[in-house]
Amino acid sequence: MNGTKAGLKVAVVDTRPKVGGNCTHQGTIPSKALRHAVHQVMQYNRNPMFRYVSEQKWLSYSQVRETAQKVIDKQIAMRARFYARNRVDLFFGTAKFIQPHEVQLDLPDGQSEVLTAKDIVIATGSRPYRPPEIDFSHPRIFDSDTILTLNHTPRNIVIYGAGVIGCEYASIFNGLGAKVDLINPGERLLAFMDDEISDALSYHLRGNGVLIRHNESFVSVEGADDHVVLTLESGKRIKCEAFMWANGRTGNTDQLNLDAVELKANGRGQLEVNERYETGVEHIYAAGDVIGWPSLASAAYDQGRSVSGVISENGTYRKINDIPTGIYTIPEISSVGKTERELTAAKVPYEVGKAYFKDTARAQITGEEAGVLKLLFHRETTELLGIHCFGDQAAEILHIGQAIMSQKGEGNSIRYFLEHTFNYPTMAEAYRVAALNGLNRIF
């Protein structure tokens, strides 16, 4: 759309006969819609007020999947309208290069057609990495794509991989009442996050009954008729009704016939690009998950806009940095900027200001009292250096601080939160509380 608005003639190609990409069909949208539905059930079951209405109630995985499908359908319809309104031509078929400026589309009916373009953007995304020794065709063995075909609530599930996907699905199945074992090949959950926030997540998942095992690697995953057995290098054997692999993703480059344009993907199927999304082959660009980090829909949107800005020469181009993280576990996590670990290693004299959700009126009213907002700021200049939030609506709350942190010069100061009046009672008020808490430490 950014390209057509800048005067380019644009065609979009996708294998799937519906727009939206994996983000809409198998990634962000279904997982967030599932998570929201499950969170609502948890709130209903937890809140004593609803016991006047009825006893606790549970929804099945199939029921929450139905609500997710409705959101997916809305997204598809909305995106299809955007393409039509902006006169972006859509082609459905699997694309591969045949010449530097020619792409062949293999169509669902077995026919093929060739598209020619001055510039080409590879935005083929990613898919779950599948170790060859695991039989993903087994009806009880899933990855983050196929978990969306599960049609009952398992009594127990083992999730292997405690990255973002593993932690989010652990929250979803735990919220549905399934017994969840979360197997982490690493040392801690979400190791790239602030330690205190990662500890808070472990504490809350464990408190809700999730069994977390760190530093474990799989030896085998064996599927039987009515169960799956996971064997770990430590000798442990874990039996479950359903097994979900949530460890890593691979860029979708294997079908692109990259040899035809002398491009090469790395071992994870990803393409290397420079700041302007140029691949090294003139006129071929890449953006989104296929270029690897940060592999977020939020970043992919901006990268897509930017790459069309580069091509059209007069469209929007922005170097994308300071990307926030929003992780939709229950409770939610969000962060932007530096962690304490990074600031300590860089010998930056920082201070910490904290506000616990339980001490805010808004959280007491909503009952969402688990959580903390943590501000890291320079003790001399008071500039905000990092924001880390754990708790309900963390992904929204974060953006208030991000707006201040992105100001230039003296505009970026923790004092903003003391010099402006905040609506009361709001979760935004946590910024005022955290700023006071932090500035009180300065002497």
Ligand X SMILES: NC(=O)c1ccc[n+]([C@@H]2O[C@H](COP(=O)([O-])OP(=O)(O)OC[C@H]3O[C@@H](n4cnc5c(N)ncnc54)[C@H](O)[C@@H]3O)[C@@H](O)[C@H]2O)c1
Q: Hunting for tokens 């040899």 — which residue is that?
A: 259
- State which residue, 168 or 429, has the beta carbon closest to ligand X: 168
Q: Please give the Cα distance from 217 to 207 (Å, whole number).
A: 24
Feature table: binding site for NAD(+): 161-168, 248
Binding mask 65-104 for ligand X (x = CB under 6 A): ----------------------------------------
Residues of this chain that interact with ligand FAD (CB under 6 A) are: 13-16, 21-23, 27-28, 31-32, 94-95, 123-126, 144, 165, 252, 255-256, 288-290, 295-298, 300, 326, 328
Query: Does residue 399 bind ligand X (CB under 6 A)?
Result: no
- The CB-of-297 to ligand FAD minimum distance in angstroms stands at 4
Query: Does residue 168 bind ligand X (CB under 6 A)?
Result: yes
- The CB-of-145 to ligand X minimum distance in angstroms stands at 12
For ligand X, which residue of 172, 212, 327, 373 counts as binding (CB under 6 A)? 327
Select the binding partner of residue 256 from ligand FAD, ligand X, none (C-beta < 5 to 8 A, by kind). Answer: ligand FAD
Feature table: binding site for FAD: 32, 124-126, 289
Between the CA of residue 408 and those of 377, 404, 405, 413, 420, what are the distances in Å?
15, 9, 8, 10, 18
Select the binding partner of residue 337 from ligand X, ligand FAD, none (C-beta < 5 to 8 A, by kind). Answer: none
Those residues whose C-beta lies under 8 Å from the C-beta of residue 406, and which sit 6 or more positions away, are 322, 412
Q: Which stretch binds ligand X (CB under 6 A): 48-56, 289-297, 300-308, 311-319?
A: 289-297
Query: Does residue 166 bind ligand X (CB under 6 A)?
Result: yes
Query: Does residue 23 bind ligand X (CB under 6 A)?
Result: no
Select the binding partner of residue 177 from ligand FAD, ligand X, none (C-beta < 5 to 8 A, by kind). Answer: none
Q: What is the 3-state secondary structure (H, E, C) of the chain?
A: CHHHHCCCCCEEEECCCCCCHHHHHCCHHHHHHHHHHHHHHHHHHHCHHHHHCCCCCCCCHHHHHHHHHHHHHHHHHHHHHHHHHCCCEEEECEEEEEECCEEEEECCCCCEEEEECCCEEECCCEEECCCCCCCCCCCCEECCCHHHHCCCCCCEEEEECCCHHHHHHHHHHHHCCCEEEEECCCCCCCCCCCHHHHHHHHHHHHHCCCEEECCCCEEEEEECCCCEEEEECCCCEEEECEEEECCCEEECCCCCCHHHHCCCCCCCCCCCCCCCCECCCCCEEECHHHHCCCCCHHHHHHHHHHHHHHHHCCCCCCCCCCCCEEECCCCCEEEEECCHHHHHHCCCCEEEEEEEHHHCHHHHHHCCCCEEEEEEEECCCCCEEEEEEEECCHHHHHHHHHHHHCCCHHHCCCCHHHHCCCCCCCCCHHHHHHHHHHHCCCC
Feature table: binding site: 32, 124-126, 161-168, 248, 289
For ligand X, which residue of 97, 142, 285, 328 counts as binding (CB under 6 A)? 328
- State which residue, 205 or 433, has the beta carbon closest to ligand X: 205
Select the binding partner of residue 15 from ligand X, ligand FAD, none (C-beta < 5 to 8 A, by kind). Answer: ligand FAD
Query: Does residue 330 bind ligand X (CB under 6 A)?
Result: no
Query: Does residue 268 bind ligand X (CB under 6 A)?
Result: yes
Among 101, 85, 103, 102, which residue's Cα sits nearest to residue 93?
Answer: 103
Select the binding partner of residue 300 from ligand X, ligand FAD, none (C-beta < 5 to 8 A, by kind). Answer: ligand FAD
Position 69, amino acid: Q
Query: Does residue 35 bind ligand X (CB under 6 A)?
Result: no
Q: Which stretch binds ligand X (CB under 6 A): 247-255, 351-359, 386-394, 399-407?
A: 247-255
Query: Does residue 242 bind ligand X (CB under 6 A)?
Result: no
- The CB-of-287 to ligand FAD minimum distance in angstroms stands at 7
- State which residue, 171 or 412, has the beta carbon closest to ligand X: 171
- State which residue, 163 or 288, has the beta carbon closest to ligand X: 163
- The CB-of-93 to ligand FAD minimum distance in angstroms stands at 7
- The CB-of-79 to ligand FAD minimum distance in angstroms stands at 11
- 320 and 306 Cβ atoms separated by less than 8 Å: yes
The tally of CA atoms less than 13 A away on the side-chain side of residue 247 is 20
Binding mask 111-150 for ligand X (x = CB under 6 A): ------------------x---------------------
- State which residue, 296 or 387, has the beta carbon closest to ligand FAD: 296
Which stretches of the chain bind ligand X, using CB under 6 A? 129, 161, 163-166, 168, 246-250, 268, 294-296, 326-328
